[in-house]
Amino acid sequence: MQAVILAAGLGTRMRPLTHTTAKPLLKTGKRALLDYTFDALPEEIDEVIVVVGYLGEQIRKYLGEDFRGLKVHYVVQEKLEGTAKALWEAKPLLTGKFLVLMADDIYAREDIRKCLKHDYAILVMRSTEQGPGGKVKLDEKNQLVSVEEGKSHPAGTLISTNVFVLTPELFTYEPVKLTDREGEWGLPQTVVELSKDYSVAVVEATRWIKITTPEDLKLAEQILT
């Protein structure tokens, strides 16, 4: 099974660290964030496609063409236009059901295993404090209704972790343009369109360490040690 790792972003909120280092290669403790990304890949994954952009050559050099026994391919997102357009770059290489995850957040492998039990899934986390993210709304049958981006959702909100299980059927839908971010197309919102025709399982995560600022690297080190 293939996994797509999205690793093209600028990491603007990580500056000045990302002036010279690709965000997925920043370290928490002694390990790069990308190492934790590969830690989270279940045994079913045998091939990885990495979408690179900003400082992508650093990521190519770090992972090479074979990393931890997994074949690694690369595609380039020349123009950074959001997560949906990033995934679309990998479309020619995808042959069946696949996993999507971010290169710079830390996930639990068991949570991803639960997602892989379904043909389509989105991994969410219930927030413990007020903050930003993609608010996931469900109907009375716990079916996916919408994902709304925002800067200040209340505690207890289901937030998209940007982990998905999908099939190439997704590419028959048009990427959804975000209304609050100029020039960006959102993958969670595109998955919502797919959910109108296919059942998308909503799996609640047991752990998700979102890495946004330099302070998050320090916090992650405390959590992981």
Tally the domains of the chain: 1
At 84-125, the pLDDT tens digits run: 999 999 999 999 999 999 999 999 999 999 999 999 999 999
160 falls within a domain: yes
Backbone phi and psi for residue 139, each to the nearest 5 degrees, phi listed first: -90, -175
pLDDT band at 132 (very low <50, low <70, confident <90, very high): confident
225 falls within a domain: no
Q: What pLDDT does 11 receive? A: 78
Cβ atoms 60, 78 nearer than 8 A: no
Q: What is the CATH number of the domain that holds 82?
A: 3.90.550.10
State both tokens at 79.
């123009």
Beta-strand pair 201-204/121-126:
parallel
Residue 141, amino acid? K
Give the Cα separation of 52 and 7 in Å (integer).
5
Range from 37-51, 53-67, 98-112, 130-144 carrying the lowest mean pLDDT: 130-144
At 11-34, the pLDDT tens digits run: 778 888 889 999 999 999 889 999
64 falls within a domain: yes
12 falls within a domain: yes
DSSP secondary structure, 183-202, as one string: T-EEHHHHHHHHHTTS--EE
At 136-184, the pLDDT tens digits run: 998 888 889 889 888 778 888 899 999 999 999 999 999 999 887 778 8
Give the Cα separation of 85 and 211 in Å (integer).
21
In order of 22, 80, 161, 175, 187, the CA distances from 28 in angstroms are: 14, 25, 19, 33, 27
Domain that holds residue 94: 2-220
pLDDT band at 66 (very low <50, low <70, confident <90, very high): very high
